[in-house]
Amino acid sequence: MMRDIGGGPRVLLRRLRELMAEPLEPQERLDRIVREIASNMVAEVCSLYVLRADSVLELYATEGLNPSAVHRAQLQIGQGLVGTIAASARALNLTDAQKHPAFAYLPETGEEIYNSFLGVPVLRAGRTLGVLTVQNRTKRNYREDELEALETTAMVIAEMIATGDLARLSRPGLDLDLSRPMSFTGLAFNEGIGLGHVVLHEPRIVVTNLFNEDSEEEVRRLESALGSLRLSIDDMLSRRDVASEGEHRAVLEAYRMFAHDQGWVRRIEEAVRNGLTAEAAVEKVQSDMRARMMHMTDPYMRERMSDFDDLANRLLRQLMGRGPEAIAESLPKDAIIVARSMGAAELLDYPRERLRGLVLEDGAITSHIVIVARAMAIPVAGQVTGAVSMSENGDAIIVDGDAGRVHLRPQADVEGAYAEKVRFRAKRQELYRELRGRPSVTRDGVAVDLMMNAGLAVDLPQLAESGAAGIGLYRTELQFMVAATFPRAEQQEELYRHVLDVARDKPVTFRTIDIGGDKVLPYFKSAKPEENPALGWRAIRLTLDRPALLRTQIRALLKAAGGRELRVMFPMVTEIGEIRQARELIDREVRHLSRFAHHLPTSLKLGAMLEVPSLMWQLDELMQAVDFVSVGSNDLFQFVMAADRGNTLLSDRFDPLSVPFLRVLRQIADAGKRAGTPVTLCGELAGRTISAMALIGLGYRSISMSPAAIGPVKAMLCELPAGELAAMLDALLGKPDGGTDMRGLLDEFARKHDIPL
């Protein structure tokens, strides 16, 4: 008759905690654990099998089976009941185990006399590390609470395996599965190679103290923690390495504004006054927000949720006295962060000098965390499924940001090959610096202007450092995004004048304010939320409806460019009529400034960004209506392919180097050539060597990119026979598509001509 063990799981866990605290050798601890389980569950057998790196399950401890079988009895994954549990990561509860089709008899164990069987996988973060079983001679069904007790015990054993306690028990040359080399293929989010050791990014803090005894004291604690949080963000953004990088600055400044969001703070204070501790209030408000926003597909809202998650975790750490300095103290000198996802600012908690790379299970190339990492020149691989659960802190790891590959616990020859690749890249960087002063001319004498993208004053030193021919895209909206209110006309004028002063005789193309879509100003609210903001009230549509906003900016640009050339372009033009409206508005401002004898630009060139496919059927009219055209390849590609570039399910589905999109780009270049209107392309395509090569072959003679991309693109350009490539592309794009692998053919062309990609 079996005794009632209703309180069994609690008793068992208490005994396990006591066993874990005792100073025992690993084998003795395991033996005592299986003995305790067998006793608690009134089982005649309890056995633990541990998974080795060679995919073999080895018996590590048993109570009831032949003791001499320990470390001798072995099963392959999928073999027998134990192997089946390991392969499926699911429990088995059997009354008559020997009738199960997967049953396998191991003579050395003496288990043939046992009928009932309950086995559970030893899991850690979804990964199988072993199998824990109990058996009885009598045919019986194990109850739900017994299954739960065994699963809970398996979690404790998983931690023993993960912390390396059992490593000493393995025979020489037979490591546990934790040390098995693994490789993952994800997406290339930022180029570069990183060799180092895993640091698991685990910001989640579990709140256990839920109810307060003094609401006013909790409110004071909350206010103090919020003050510290805001100061820490200010300090983070004032660091030298952050200030010198401009591309990501708007993201971080917007993040700072969220930390001051009064609605968020008010909801937390209200939860405190309703009886929760400050920590529990933060957790509750964040859970409520997550529940409301979890079904939203808009990429901007997804990024906002990530930012608020980061802020909530950061605030919880402040409340619990765990600041960023604790992270820095424990970080290895060659840290590679492995995370499911991260907020845009979390990466800055880690000292830049110790970071070698970033691995993300989620995210897209346009995610805010990727923008920050790119600005910090950190290699990033994204969409690396399983990386978190398969990694342990301190594991050796390699991140190949060029190919989107990750090698966990790599073998010596793999590590050696990548170390050589890193040395080779360092030599290439020296070459890029040498190329800085060299003209950007192809091998057959075709000149191509390599311009850079910018958006804030901190970008400007990179104009000289990169050797760029000018600024092909100055994003004026970034100044608006980092401000608490609309920048006054004087502030705008001061910034634009500074940009032109630094550029000296190099051209600068200012794009008028491009807000709306995923670029939201906290102090500027639209009339109502839009279901699809990327296709909504944004860019020139917004500024023509709010002409005072555009007139103020145009007036500041005209005054700043007094005595110099001014180049202005309008974003997201859909119809030629919008250009006429904008031109009339500019003419009015020119007349106004002339009336008051202001120093005006010596010449004024107006351009349009081609991002909306409707302009493809107005190309000739467009080329006549403007002085230049700039192709916004990011938006144009997503609109042509009807694929949201922030959607991770589609991020790798369509290739911008496919025949359809290359034909679109060639049409634009040909139209510009016919009309004698200069055409520039700015966007992701311009900054990648293989796609930049294709653009030159299509006829583009000006491309604008991030400053870091100019060196690699120039190295490619100097070796490129542009005429030969143009002839090849003309022939290929003139044929029926038929699934032509344009990327593969471009790769082959580069190899044939020794062009560095």
Q: Is residue 124 part of a domain?
A: yes
Q: Which two tokens stand for residue 499?
A: 């940009």
Considering only residues 647 and 195, tell me which one the structure prediction assigns the higher pLDDT.
195
Q: Would you state the pLDDT for residue 496? A: 94
Q: Would you state the pLDDT for residue 245? A: 44
Q: Would you state the pLDDT for residue 173? A: 56
Q: What single string gives the DSSP state of each residue in 495-536?
A: HHHHHHHHHTTS-EEEEPP--BTTB--TT---SS--SSGGGS
Sign of CA dihedral 210, 214, 219, 220: negative
Final residue before a domain boundary, out of 290, 321, 352: 321
Q: Please report, for the domain that includes residue 516, its CATH number.
A: 3.20.20.60
Same structural domain, 739 and 639: yes
Q: Please report, for the domain that includes residue 410, its CATH number.
A: 3.50.30.10
Q: Is 46 a catalytic residue?
A: no
380 closest CA partner among 430, 338, 318: 338
Q: Is residue 326 part of a domain?
A: no
Q: Which two tokens stand for residue 114?
A: 């046992």
Final residue before a domain boundary, out of 403, 435, 467: 435
Same structural domain, 490 and 374: no
Range of the structural domain that residue 193 is part of: 181-204+332-435
Same structural domain, 709 and 591: yes
Amino acid letter, 545: D
Most confident of 63-67, 209-213, 308-312, 316-320: 63-67
User: DSSP assignment, residue 441?
Assistant: B
Same structural domain, 501 and 409: no
Q: Please report, for the domain that includes residue 311, its CATH number.
A: 1.10.274.10
First CA to last CA distance, the chain:
75
Amino acid letter, 253: E
| Separation CA 579–CA 608 (nearest Å) | 8
* Per-residue burial over 513-546, b = 16 or more CB atoms within 10 Å of its CB, e = otherwise: bbbbbbbbbeeeeeeeeeeebbeebbbbbbbbee
Q: Could you count the other beta carbons within 10 Å of the beta carbon of residue 746?
A: 23
Same structural domain, 69 and 164: yes
Helix (H, G, I), strand (E, B) or coil at 276: strand
Mean of the pLDDT values across residues 291-305? Answer: 53
483 closest CA partner among 707, 700, 249: 249
Mean of the pLDDT values across residues 283-300? Answer: 60
Mean of the pLDDT values across residues 519-534? Answer: 65
pLDDT of residue 262 exceeding 60, the answer is yes
List Cβ neighbours of 320 (8 Å cut-off, separation of 6 or more).
205, 279
In tens, the pLDDT along 177-215 reads: 566 678 888 998 888 899 999 988 765 555 657 677 788
| Separation CA 568–CA 711 (nearest Å) | 27
| Separation CA 114–CA 2 (nearest Å) | 16
Angle between helices 368-375 and 299-319 (to 10 degrees): 70
Same structural domain, 510 and 383: no
| Separation CA 734–CA 745 (nearest Å) | 15
Sign of CA dihedral 487, 492, 494, 499: positive
pLDDT of residue 114 exceeding 90, the answer is no
Any bridge partners for residue 56, and if so which? Answer: 76
pTM of structure: 0.55
Weakest mean pLDDT among 299-313, 459-473, 475-489: 299-313
Final residue before a domain boundary, out of 418, 435, 452: 435
Q: Could you count the other beta carbons within 10 Å of the beta carbon of residue 294?
A: 9
| Separation CA 137–CA 44 (nearest Å) | 7
User: DSSP assignment, residue 142?
Assistant: P
Q: Is 682 a catalytic residue?
A: yes
Sign of CA dihedral 652, 657, 661, 664: positive
Q: Is residue 62 part of a domain?
A: yes
Helix (H) or strand (E) segment spanning residue 371 = helix 368-375
User: DSSP assignment, residue 190?
Assistant: E
Q: Would you state the pLDDT for residue 389? A: 64
Using an 8 Å Cβ cutoff, are 97 and 115 in contact? yes
Q: Which two tokens stand for residue 665?
A: 């780009």
Residue 75, φ and ψ in degrees, nearest 5: -135, 145
Considering only residues 589 and 275, tell me which one the structure prediction assigns the higher pLDDT.
589
Sign of CA dihedral 362, 365, 367, 371: positive
Mean of the pLDDT values across residues 133-157? Answer: 84
pLDDT of residue 338 exceeding 70, the answer is yes
Mean of the pLDDT values across residues 713-735? Answer: 94
pLDDT of residue 246 exceeding 50, the answer is no
In tens, the pLDDT along 591-639 reads: 999 998 889 999 999 999 999 999 999 999 999 999 999 999 988 999 9
| Separation CA 85–CA 723 (nearest Å) | 62
Using an 8 Å Cβ cutoff, are 521 and 481 in contact? yes
Q: Would you state the pLDDT for residue 325? A: 57
Same structural domain, 494 and 619: yes
Using an 8 Å Cβ cutoff, are 471 and 244 in contact? no
In tens, the pLDDT along 449-479 reads: 999 988 766 578 778 888 899 999 998 887 7
pLDDT of residue 4 exceeding 50, the answer is no
Q: Which two tokens stand for residue 278?
A: 């400050």
Residue 23, φ and ψ in degrees, nearest 5: -80, 80
Same structural domain, 354 and 408: yes
Same structural domain, 421 and 280: no
Burial class (CB in 10 A: 0-12, 13-18, 19+), 114: buried
pLDDT > 90 fraction of the chain, expressed in percent and rounded = 35
Weakest mean pLDDT among 201-215, 690-704, 729-743: 201-215
Helix (H, G, I), strand (E, B) or coil at 453: strand
Q: Name the domain count of the chain.
A: 4
Any bridge partners for residue 608, and if so which? Answer: 570, 629
Same structural domain, 74 and 217: no
List Cβ neighbours of 334 (8 Å cut-off, separation of 6 or more).
195, 196, 197, 354, 356
Same structural domain, 33 and 175: yes
Active site residue: 46, 368, 592, 598, which one? Answer: 368
Could you give the residue ranges of the DSSP H alpha helices within 631-709? 633-641, 659-675, 689-698
The sheet carrying 74-76 orders its strands as 74-76, 56-63, 45-51, 127-136, 116-124, 92-94
User: DSSP assignment, residue 171?
Assistant: P
Q: Would you state the pLDDT for residue 3? A: 38
Considering only residues 169 and 717, tell me which one the structure prediction assigns the higher pLDDT.
717
Q: Would you state the pLDDT for residue 117? A: 92
Burial class (CB in 10 A: 0-12, 13-18, 19+), 99: exposed
Active site residue: 201, 682, 718, 753, which one? Answer: 682
- If you count them, how many residues does the chain have? 757
Classify residue 253 as left (phi > 0), alpha (psi -120 to 50) or beta: alpha
Any bridge partners for residue 63, and if so which? Answer: 46
Same structural domain, 578 and 707: yes
Considering only residues 328 and 18, tell me which one the structure prediction assigns the higher pLDDT.
18
Q: Is residue 412 part of a domain?
A: yes
Q: Would you state the pLDDT for residue 2? A: 35
Q: Is residue 582 part of a domain?
A: yes
Q: Over the Cα atoms of the chain, what is R_g?
A: 31
Kindly report the average pLDDT of the chain as a whole number. 83
558 closest CA partner among 520, 505, 595: 595
List Cβ neighbours of 213 (8 Å cut-off, separation of 6 or more).
none
Q: Could you count the other beta carbons within 10 Å of the beta carbon of residue 490?
A: 10
List Cβ neighbours of 575 (8 Å cut-off, separation of 6 or more).
614, 618
Q: Is residue 263 part of a domain?
A: yes
In tens, the pLDDT along 400-451 reads: 998 899 999 887 777 887 887 787 777 777 778 888 888 999 999 999 999 9
Residue 737, φ and ψ in degrees, nearest 5: -60, -65
Mean of the pLDDT values across residues 7-29? Answer: 77
- Banded model confidence at residue 1, pLDDT cuts 50, 70, 90: very low
Q: Give Cα 490 distance to the centre of its chain.
A: 37
Q: Give Cα 753 distance to the centre of its chain.
A: 34
Q: Is residue 1 part of a domain?
A: no
- Banded model confidence at residue 485, pLDDT cuts 50, 70, 90: confident
- Banded model confidence at residue 326, pLDDT cuts 50, 70, 90: low
Q: Is residue 3 part of a domain?
A: no
